[in-house]
Amino acid sequence: MDIPVIDLTRYLEIADKLSTDPVKLSRQLGELGPWLGELCKEVSRILRETGALVVKDPRCSADDNDRFIDMMEKYFERPPEFKRLQERPQLHYQVGVTPEGVEVPRSLVDEEMQEELKAMPKEFQPSTPKGPDRKWRYMWRVGPRPLNTHFKELNSEPVIPEGFPEWKETMDSWGHKMISAIEAVAEMAAIGFGLPKDAFTSIMKQGPHLLAPTGSDLGCYGQEGTVFAGYHYDLNFLTIHGRSRFPGLNIWLRNGQKVGVKVPLGCLLIQTGKQIEWLTAGDCIAGMHEVVVTKRTIDAVKLASEQNCSLWRVSSTLFAHIASDAVLKPLGHFAESPLASKYPPIRAGEFVEQELSGFLVAGREIKFKDETSNGRAALVSFKKSSG
């Protein structure tokens, strides 16, 4: 599916001049002509209907994306014993590398979700994972954290692998650029939803944003149907990715249709998470998605092999969050929605902790990653239930 591309250039040219006061903003929208209001409404419409948005941000070039992916390919190609030197299980994988076989999609363990999937038409059902995700992930914090918070993260140093002198600058640069793109989209979506321009961005400040690229070895796991990321939603606000060199992402539209996503060169993909669903009382819902080896993936693998290129599929994922101490609740007119009662006020950090709390499956307690900033289901440990 080709999702319409939203070019942010024109908005960025006037963004700083737009008022956060709704009355003044309304006047400015009239003075600037219909294009701005129509563009912002288009952003909100696409997020509402598809849960995904493709944008072109002049501050995030294809070269920037290539530079980042080149470095991550080089890293993921290193032997497992080298990568495990950056593993920090004692810190619940909040920093450093998470090996393949650790992250577990909710669709594998959530019985209620499994029943929902069986009720789907066969052609729209997701691929069934046979175990934990076959992907590695690297966790890198982006942006400042609050000094005073009820949700203090472990005060751990970032992990930098040996032999990568460019690591910190590359991670920070790409991470900050993608956060900037998210902020522009968040402003446009707010305007499109009829909210103040800073309705979302004002509560994103000092959020626990994470740059969390994944690496999947298509040389090892290149068989059609292999699941790299099982059917799931992200619990954060918005998730953004640079274009991957290998296709395989499927998303589910609000009407239940399953579609493969194509991201044009030089563009970014943004997906809705659970926190924006909360803030809009379900007007926008968290987008379901998966990453699976498809025929298009195999075609890309053949081409990469012929050109002697890396066969690691890197996804430059960044999870943007609402600040942990901010309160999640339907904003503005969404508070009057008939569905608002389904989204009671809760601090974002507490919401994330609830999403990731342990629960019993087949007599064992599954501990999801105790991290207030990642928007993914990750298996930290299995232990026998005492019950």
CATH number for the domain spanning 169: value is 2.60.120.330
61 located within any domain:
yes
Which stretches of the chain are DSSP H helices?
9-14, 22-32, 34-50, 62-76, 80-83, 106-109, 111-118, 167-192, 274-279, 295-306, 348-355
How does residue 145 score in pLDDT terms, banded at 50, 70 and 90? confident
Residue 41 lies in a domain: yes
In this prediction the pTM is 0.89
Report the distance separating Cα 41 and Cα 49, nearest Å: 12
Q: What are phi and psi of 314, to 5 degrees?
A: -105, 130
Residue 156 lies in a domain: yes
Check residue 376 and give its pLDDT: 38
Tell me if 108 is assigned to some domain.
Answer: yes
Residue bearing tokens 């522009």: 184
Looking at per-residue pLDDT, the higher value among 219 and 384 belongs to 219
Residue 383 pLDDT exceeds 70: no
Q: How confident is the model at residue 379 (pLDDT cuts 50, 70, 90)?
A: very low
The rounded percent of the chain whose pLDDT value lies above 90 is 74
Instruction: Let me know if residue 90 belongs to a domain.
Output: yes
pLDDT at 362: 29
Instruction: Give me the pLDDT at residue 12, please.
Output: 98
Contact 327, 151 (CB under 8 A): no
Of 114 and 381, the one with more pLDDT:
114
353 falls within a domain: yes
Mean pLDDT of 63-71: 96
Region 105-112: what's the mean pLDDT? Answer: 81
Taking residues 358-384, report their average pLDDT.
35
Q: What is the mean pLDDT of residues 320-339?
A: 97
Query: What is the per-residue pLDDT for 366?
Result: 45
Is the pLDDT at 377 greater than 70? The verdict is no
Is the pLDDT confidence value at 109 over 90? no
Residue 285 belongs to a domain? yes
251 domain-assigned: yes
Each as own residue / partner, the long-range contacts of residues 117-126 (CB below 8 Å, 24 or more positions apart, any chain) are: 117/231, 120/256, 121/256, 123/258, 124/252, 124/256, 124/257, 124/258, 125/258, 126/230, 126/231, 126/250, 126/252, 126/258, 126/288, 126/290
Average of per-residue pLDDT across 154-182: 92
The pLDDT value recorded for residue 108 is: 82
pLDDT recorded at residue 1: 63
**If you average pLDDT over residues 183-206, what whole number do you get?**
97
- Residue-range definition of the domain harbouring residue 352: 5-365
Overall domain count for the chain = 1
CA distance 99 to 104: 12
How much is the mean pLDDT over the chain? 88
Work out the average pLDDT over 241-249.
Answer: 94
